[in-house]
Amino acid sequence: MKKYLLFFIALTLFTFSFAEKISIKEARSKDILSTVTVEGYVTLEPGLFANNSFFIEKDGYGVNIYTQGKDISELNIERNDLIEVTGYTWNHKSNLEVVLETDNKKHEIKILQKNAKKIEPREINVEDIKDEELEGSLVHLDAKIIKNMGQEIIIGDETGEGILWIRENTDIIPDYLKEGLDIEITGILAQYLSKKEIQPRDINDLVVDDIFPPEVQFYSITGEKQVKILFNESIDRQIIAGTNVKVLKNEINSMEFSFEDRILTVNTIEKIDNNRLFLRFIRDKEGNTLKMLVLELKDQNRKENNLIFDESHGQTAGNADWVLDGGYSELKTIANNLGLNIFSLKESINKDILSLFDTFIIIEPNVRYLKEEIRSIMDFIENSGEIFLVSDHGGADRNGDGWDSVRIINELLTEYPLRLVGDNIEQAPIKNIEEHILTKKVNEIGVWNGTSISHNNSFKSLIKDDKDNPLLVINEELEMIIFSDSSTFDDGTGNPGDILHDGLSWGDNEQLLTNILYYLKTN
Report which of residues 48 and 499 the model is more confident about. 48
In this predicted structure, the answer to whether residue 11 has a pLDDT above a threshold of 50 is no
What is residue 13's predicted lDDT score, i.e. its pLDDT? 44
At 58, is the pLDDT very low, low, confident or very high (cuts 50, 70, 90)? very high
Q: Render pLDDT for 223-256 as a digit per residue (tens, 0 to 9).
A: 999 999 999 999 999 999 999 999 999 999 999 9
CB of 447 closer than 8 Å to CB of 426: yes
Provide CB contacts within 8 A for 45, sequence distance 6+. 54, 77, 78, 79
What is residue 493's predicted lDDT score, i.e. its pLDDT? 86
Q: What is the mean pLDDT of the chain?
A: 93
The neighbour count for residue 113, using CB atoms within 10 Å, is 12
| Residue 254 CB burial class (10 angstroms; 0-12, 13-18, ≥19) | exposed
In this predicted structure, the answer to whether residue 197 has a pLDDT above a threshold of 50 is yes
- Percent of the chain beyond pLDDT 70? 95
The continuous run of DSSP H or E covering 351 comes out as helix 351-354
* Average pLDDT estimate for 194-214: 91
**DSSP conformation class of 271:** P
In this predicted structure, the answer to whether residue 507 has a pLDDT above a threshold of 80 is yes
Q: Which CATH number describes the domain made up of 18-113? A: 2.40.50.200
What is residue 320's predicted lDDT score, i.e. its pLDDT? 86
Please tell me the distance from the alpha carbon of residue 431 to that of residue 507, in angstroms, as a whole number.
Answer: 10
Q: Render pLDDT for 401-454 as a digit per residue (tens, 0 to 9).
A: 889 999 999 999 999 999 999 999 999 999 999 999 999 999 999 999 999 999
The continuous run of DSSP H or E covering 4 comes out as helix 2-17
**DSSP conformation class of 302:** B
CB of 392 closer than 8 Å to CB of 423: no
At 150, is the pLDDT very low, low, confident or very high (cuts 50, 70, 90)? confident
Least confident window among 273-282, 393-402, 452-461: 393-402
What is residue 398's predicted lDDT score, i.e. its pLDDT? 87
Report which of residues 506 and 211 the model is more confident about. 506
State the fold for domain 122-208. Answer: OB fold (Dihydrolipoamide Acetyltransferase, E2P) (2.40.50)
Q: Closest Cα to residue 307, out of 486, 523, 510, 500?
A: 523
* Intrachain domains 18-113 and 122-208 with the same fold: yes
In this predicted structure, the answer to whether residue 18 has a pLDDT above a threshold of 60 is no
Rg (CA), the chain: 26
Please tell me the distance from the alpha carbon of residue 175 to that of residue 98, in angstroms, as a whole number.
Answer: 33
Apex 357 CA angle, 391 and 379, nearest 5: 70
Least confident window among 187-191, 207-211, 273-277, 405-409: 207-211
State the fold for domain 216-298. Answer: Immunoglobulin-like (2.60.40)
CB of 28 closer than 8 Å to CB of 46: no
* Average pLDDT estimate for 82-100: 95
Q: Render pLDDT for 460-477 as a digit per residue (tens, 0 to 9).
A: 999 999 999 999 999 999
What class has domain 303-522?
alpha beta
The neighbour count for residue 156, using CB atoms within 10 Å, is 15
* Amino acid at residue number 420: L
* Amino acid at residue number 481: I
Task: Enumerate the domain spans of the chain.
Answer: 18-113, 122-208, 216-298, 303-522
Please tell me the distance from the alpha carbon of residue 33 to that of residue 45, in angstroms, as a whole number.
Answer: 24
In sequence order, what E strands does 45-181 have?
Answer: 53-58, 61-68, 82-92, 95-101, 108-113, 122-123, 138-149, 152-157, 160-165
* Average pLDDT estimate for 370-377: 96
In this predicted structure, the answer to whether residue 258 has a pLDDT above a threshold of 70 is yes
Strands 470-475 and 53-58: unpaired
**DSSP conformation class of 428:** E
What is residue 497's predicted lDDT score, i.e. its pLDDT? 63
Report which of residues 223 and 69 the model is more confident about. 223
What is residue 345's predicted lDDT score, i.e. its pLDDT? 95
What is residue 73's predicted lDDT score, i.e. its pLDDT? 79
Least confident window among 4-18, 45-59, 94-108, 168-182: 4-18
